Structure 1
């Protein structure tokens, strides 16, 4: 089955308002920037995004955030995105902050059909007891807070129950991919991309290099095509566009 679509805009055209969306990447590394821009052009709003972070001001998911298209974020890191912080503190955006390893496992579990699991991460903190602010009121008070989590002891050690995450769609970026949707991720881009792809009911992948079926060594494939429904081949200019969140000179 050939899963290649003619353009990013066509590939995201059926994503409706209020959809849930898993998005790969870490900071600005490995983010599906072309698909995000196409989603912005599509005009969709009210999105419920699951991603490690929400891009930066003017880049990645920050483009959708600045346009007021995102209603809720489940993530681990605010980072350098001042607009993200502003919207959250102003009560314009609901944010569920999750320990980074827990978020990765929740996505992986959802994609693997595992409804829930126990983890020691967060024991003894507000992650366990609840009360973390998900949404602020305009006056700065907390209008929606996280609920307490179920705790259970295993071998004398407490663990928290966390639920797997699945989403309506997923957007990811791969280094190489074939027409059947088999994907290879390169270096730091192999962060949240595989687990985000698994969590989406419809997964759309932008690939820097599109190859014919059979050209990928099966031993190098990080994500099999069964998890990918649509593939978009990037132009050389799009493939070369890789922003840096914070440049450091030693």
Structure 2
């Protein structure tokens, strides 16, 4: 692992690691918690509505392993369809490369990362606590609520297991870096559009556009980090279901 890549060898995996694998040419990554013995607990759209009913769900949240006519001999059998599932590491990766999400990242390194949703400034809880949360939510019906790409996704699940932190306001967006990136890029587009009508020459417009885009991206990326936001609370895993129920109503 280095400044520009969180790529990880399987031999270096430890229980409690927050891992991910990129999908669709780095547009979206699927996240989960490694709990040991080649097993990953993760949050998917399996067996439930996503809550947004939009094309975004289809393009960006196709995170569950592709169905196979031959069941994987390494995956634990389960009838669980609540969205929190257990898979073997191979099924979780679905042919992708293994990466580890970083915690307690130095602010300078956090901003220098070329890709969003690869690290956070927040510290992680001890590995045994992380594994306990993941297993607890696996055993609960609808344990982590309804999957929603903008408010409650696989990265939110993994970050919660690692930190115990949840967004408390049902109107707030997800705590994940993916969603912050979407909003930041949208804002950048708005600013760039406004600059097109500015009373200045093309070179100045280009410089202003690039500069404003970089600044907007960094500001949105930093301000939406789980460790910075003011709408985040520490929630015991036993109370997660009640929190999601209140946010849904």
TM-score normalised to the size of structure 2? 0.26
Higher strand share: 1
TM-score normalised to the size of structure 1? 0.26
Higher helix share: 2
